[in-house]
């Protein structure tokens, strides 16, 4: 089981955020994860919240081994060409450590307050589909032409290519079975899901079927879920075992609300039992 750490990048100073990244690398987590938002998602009132991709680029220069990503990039915030260029930049800044997380966006309050368009869910999923096609093409091809409902490219080329070939691993955050899981089956190297193990086991079996229909080996798609560290340790161990038995190979550990002491206890007493 691979373990990542959610940095919970809200209501923190830059020094506090960077310290969390250093802690994660020193503790031998596989990856550090931020989110793609410009305002705090939780708590009351305004608060600090650093932009995702510039944060990853900066943390890449302060770390040497740990992988970096966002769970997940909101498709509404950037044109796919800009997203591809940002991803390539972070992949080079990190010497090939980027995990590219993508999703259909959801935080309507943030969109409305900051002036981002927030189409209906069907349109956002269409935008995600087109974005996945565009970024993979720009990562691997010259003179990309694309004619979609939402985006158009003409003779587009981005250089340099990503460090990772053919491109950084693509993660898709998804729960919807009708439209989102089919996108995971077609494009994703990893599926990130929220929910309980029993519920997600059923969705994972559906993803197996969808991947086969798309001509892919289901085993090529990593299954990832989130793990709370604020529950009793026996509960944490049991939940991790249930995810493992359901075929999940990656758990993103949430930064515990109890703070650093709780995380240190996890690293010292529980993490060795869960890590491969």
Q: What is the DSSP string of 30-65?
A: SEEEE---SS-SSSSS---B--HHHHHHHHHTT-SS
Q: Using 50, 70 and 90 to split pLDDT, how confident is the model at 276?
A: low
pTM of the complete model: 0.96
Please name which of 224, 275, 272, 229 lies closest in space to residue 251, comparing C-alpha atoms.
Answer: 224
Mean pLDDT of the chain: 97
Render pLDDT for 95-105 as a digit per residue (tens, 0 to 9): 999 999 999 99
Please name which of 246, 202, 208, 209 lies closest in space to residue 224, comparing C-alpha atoms.
Answer: 246
Q: Is residue 121 over pLDDT 90?
A: yes
Share of the chain above pLDDT 70, in %: 100
Biggest alpha carbon–alpha carbon distance for the chain:
56
Domain ranges of the chain: 2-274
Average pLDDT over residues 66-88: 98
Render pLDDT for 182-224 as a digit per residue (tens, 0 to 9): 999 999 999 999 999 999 999 999 999 999 999 999 999 999 9
CATH class of the domain comprising 2-274: alpha beta
Q: What are phi and psi of 8, to 5 degrees?
A: 50, 65
Average pLDDT over residues 102-131: 97
In which residue are the tokens 């990656």 written? 250
């Amino acid at each position: 089981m691979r373990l990542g750490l959610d940095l919970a990048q809200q209501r923190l100073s830059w020094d506090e955020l960077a310290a969390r990244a250093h802690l994660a690398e020193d503790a031998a987590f596989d990856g550090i994860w931020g989110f793609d938002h410009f305002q705090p998602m939780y708590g009351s009132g305004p608060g600090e919240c650093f932009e995702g991709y510039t944060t990853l680029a900066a943390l890449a220069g302060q770390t040497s081994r740990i992988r970096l990503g966002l769970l997940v990039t909101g498709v509404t915030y950037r044109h796919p060409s800009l997203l591809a260029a940002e991803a390539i930049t972070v992949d080079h800044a990190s010497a090939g450590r980027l995990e590219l997380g993508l999703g259909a966006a959801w935080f309507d309050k943030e969109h409305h307050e900051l002036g981002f368009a927030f189409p209906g869910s069907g349109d956002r999923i269409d935008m995600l589909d087109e974005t996945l096609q565009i970024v993979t093409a720009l990562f691997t091809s010259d003179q990309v032409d694309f004619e979609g409902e939402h985006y158009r490219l003409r003779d587009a080329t981005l250089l340099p290519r990503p460090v990772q070939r053919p491109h950084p691993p693509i993660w898709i955050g998804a729960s919807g079975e009708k439209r989102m899981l089919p996108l995971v089956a077609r494009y994703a190297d990893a599926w990130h899901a929220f929910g309980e193990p029993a519920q997600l086991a059923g969705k994972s079996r559906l993803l197996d079927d969808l991947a086969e229909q798309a001509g892919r080996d289901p085993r090529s798609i990593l299954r990832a879920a989130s793990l709370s560290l604020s529950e009793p340790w026996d509960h944490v161990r049991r939940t991790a075992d249930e995810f493992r038995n359901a075929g999940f190979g990656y758990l993103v550990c949430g930064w515990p609300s109890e703070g650093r002491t709780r995380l240190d206890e996890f690293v010292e007493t529980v993490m060795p039992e869960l890590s491969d």
